[in-house]
């Protein structure tokens, strides 16, 4: 495996001279008081005057970012999941400080950007680190947003450091990725632990000093670099899922540089990763039930009980895995991970149902396609697992020994029979990873303007209770509760209109606004 080059070292002064190219708060165990869109304010919390007003909109100043048309390349990267031909795409790269623990404020790394929309106001878009690269997520998001919003804003999708086209991490051997994602937790934790040790060793060798620089705190610093290179006093931003944590940290680090911010689902900020994954597994099980209801209502090929179809397929593949044309072995665990990935994208549920049915009939290709972006590395795209594992392990201080991993895996597997053990297995990935030397960053702080936090009632990635806990830690959070299912609520007419009114018109929604499914 080729080694990545050691990051170039630059002083801050030299770097500055050469940068060209760029909620309702509620208790954790109960649902919050909610209101209809135009109803009275919730009564469960005392009302306090806002300390910071919502900033006005700001157009960019002088900028050296060199945008170039990238429409054909973007549409090729989007593949079958196309967006309207009326959208135009421009791409650019900027350089930002690596700022590794051993190279404070030194070294450089490149960031990939994509611009879509004709409006004069920039809106930075940050996606989950293990999801679609931010550039592609922004391209697809633009297709779901009202044209009026895209006439007022242009989205700037950002590939997070270490992902997509932003000097993507490539450090885990392919066979190790296959084990990390495809090992059946019913066969014990040791094989996954061994794979995690190998992944950690290879990443330490390949990444060198960059290994510790892949985290959400530094990704928030990248947002401020973007703000500076755009010539803005304040940066408006939209975070999706785990990407919302980056935007929230940005608000806590730079409260006086925050514009209008929307957080569409936020991870549970609790320090106990095992407890967080318990919530994720519960959200996944609930989303599977919602998928089954949708399946039955549509008369999908899985029949009246899609949950039973999923578990039956997993049992079938435990004894007779399928090998796809791409060379991936689809066994029990990988099939469940593919289903979990598909559950996050509500618009792909019909495709997911067809893929599960095909796998039951002996064709594992369509279902494996849901997880291939995490597994397969190519000249065109790095496997998503590498950058995601590095970032997630740097973002947590949880390190458990084998006996505790076994216990937690068993407990979650009993409590959440379909996805519990699979989700708990992710704890093994970071066990051999170097322990974080820095304090975990805060997601909230005083001095920021109102931020809209959107929770989704049934979310397999950022479950509602975790988003509520996150909103409680952001003093200026105003929460909208969407009663739907899937990962993130943008696309829901009610949520989309509330977000449009907030971003474009400066209308802060009532805290606790309820949006029906």
How far is CA 367 from its chain centroid? 21
Taking alpha carbons only, the member of 159, 125, 188 closest to residue 388 is 159
Kindly report the average pLDDT of the chain as a whole number: 90
**Is residue 333 within 8 Å of 318, Cβ to Cβ?**
no
Band (482; pLDDT cuts 50, 70, 90)? very high
Contact 308, 434 (CB under 8 A): no
Quick one: pLDDT at residue 180? Answer: 98
Count of other CB atoms within 10 angstroms of residue 400: 17
Residue 488 near residue 453 (C-beta atoms within 8 A): no
**Residue that has been written with the tokens 């050691």 in this structure:** 6
Question: Dihedral sign, CA of 147, 148, 149, 153?
Answer: positive
Place of tokens 């755009």: 230
Q: What is the pLDDT of residues 240-259, one digit of tens each?
A: 999 999 999 999 999 999 99
The pair of structure tokens assigned to 357 is 């049915």
Q: Using CA atoms, how far apart are residues 121 and 239, in angstroms rounded to an integer?
A: 17
pLDDT-derived band at 66 (thresholds 50, 70, 90) equals very high
pLDDT-derived band at 28, boundaries 50, 70, 90: very low
Residue 490 pLDDT > 50, yes or no? Answer: yes
Statement: the pTM of the whole predicted model exceeds 0.85 = yes
On the question of pLDDT at 47 being above 60, the answer is no
SS3 259: strand
| Sign of the dihedral defined by the CA atoms of residues 157, 160, 395, 409, in that order | positive
Q: Can you give the pLDDT at residue 50?
A: 52
Tell me how far apart the alpha carbons of residues 175 and 97 are, in angstroms, rounded to a whole number.
33
Put residue 99 in one of left, alpha, beta given phi > 0 → left and psi -120 to 50 → alpha.
left
Determine the average pLDDT of the residues in 458-477: 98
pLDDT in tens, 183-210: 999 999 999 999 999 999 999 999 999 9
CA atoms of 268 and 396, how far apart (whole Å): 12
Residue 7 has a pLDDT of: 38
Mean local confidence (pLDDT), 459-486: 98
CA distance 492 to 273: 30
Averaged pLDDT for residues 497-512:
97
DSSP lists the bridge partners of residue 158 as 113
Q: What is the mean pLDDT of residues 316-339?
A: 97
**446 pLDDT above the threshold of 60:** yes
pLDDT bin (cut points 50, 70, 90) of residue 83 is confident
Measured distance CA(114)–CA(74) in Å, rounded: 9
DSSP symbol at 130: T
What three-state secondary structure class fits 186?
Answer: helix
Instruction: Report strand pairing: 89-97 vs 68-69.
Output: antiparallel
Residue 137 host element (H or E): helix 134-142
């Amino acid at each position: 495996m080729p080694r990545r080059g050691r990051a170039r070292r630059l002083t801050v002064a030299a770097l500055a001279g050469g940068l060209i190219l760029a909620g309702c708060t509620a208790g954790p165990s109960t649902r919050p008081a909610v209101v209809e869109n135009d109803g009275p304010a919730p009564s469960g919390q005392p009302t306090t005057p806002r300390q910071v007003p919502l900033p006005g909109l700001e157009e960019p100043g002088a900028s050296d970012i060199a945008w170039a048309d990238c429409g054909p390349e973007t549409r090729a990267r989007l593949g079958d999941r196309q967006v309207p031909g009326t959208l135009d795409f421009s791409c650019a790269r900027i350089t930002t400080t690596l700022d590794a623990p051993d190279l404070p404020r030194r070294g450089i790394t490149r960031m990939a950007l994509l611009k879509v929309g004709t409006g004069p106001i920039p809106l930075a878009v940050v996606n989950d680190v293990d999801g679609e690269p931010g550039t592609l997520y922004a391209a697809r998001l633009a297709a779901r947003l009202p044209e009026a919003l895209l006439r007022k804003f242009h989205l700037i999708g950002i590939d997070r450091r270490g992902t997509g086209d932003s000097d993507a991490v490539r450090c885990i051997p392919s066979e190790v990725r296959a084990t990390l994602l495809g090992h059946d937790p019913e066969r014990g934790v040791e094989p996954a632990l061994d794979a995690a040790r190998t992944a950690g060793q290879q990443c330490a060798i390949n990444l060198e000093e960059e290994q510790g620089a892949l985290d959400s705190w530094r990704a928030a610093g990248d947002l401020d670099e973007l703000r500076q290179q755009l010539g803005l006093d304040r940066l408006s931003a939209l975070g999706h899922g785990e990407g919302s944590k980056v935007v929230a940290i940005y608000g806590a680090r730079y409260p006086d540089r925050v514009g209008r911010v929307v957080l569409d689902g936020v991870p549970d900020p609790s320090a106990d990763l095992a407890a967080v994954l318990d919530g994720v597994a519960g959200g996944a099980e609930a989303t599977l039930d919602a998928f089954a209801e949708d399946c039955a209502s549509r008369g999908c090929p899985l029949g009246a009980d899609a949950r039973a179809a999923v578990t039956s397929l997993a049992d079938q593949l435990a004894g007779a895995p399928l090998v796809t044309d791409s060379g991936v072995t689809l066994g029990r665990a990988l099939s469940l991970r593919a289903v979990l990935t598909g559950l996050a994208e509500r618009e792909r549920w019909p495709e997911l149902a067809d893929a599960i049915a095909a796998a039951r009939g002996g064709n594992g290709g369509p279902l494996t396609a849901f997880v291939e972006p995490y597994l397969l590395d190519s000249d065109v795209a790095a496997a998503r697992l590498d950058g995601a594992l590095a970032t997630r392990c740097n973002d947590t201080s949880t390190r458990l020994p084998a006996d505790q991993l076994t216990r937690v895996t068993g407990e979650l597997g009993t409590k959440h029979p379909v996805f519990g053990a699979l989700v708990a297995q992710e704890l093994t990935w970071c066990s051999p990873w170097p322990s974080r030397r820095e304090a975990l960053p805060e997601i909230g702080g005083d001095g920021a303007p109102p931020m809209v936090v959107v929770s989704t009632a049934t979310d397999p990635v950022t479950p509602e209770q975790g988003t509520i806990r996150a909103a409680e830690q952001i003093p200026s959070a105003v929460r909208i509760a969407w009663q739907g299912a899937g990962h993130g609520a943008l696309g829901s007419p009610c949520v989309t209109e509330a977000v449009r009114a907030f971003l474009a018109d400066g209308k802060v929604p009532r805290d606790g606004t309820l949006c029906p499914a």
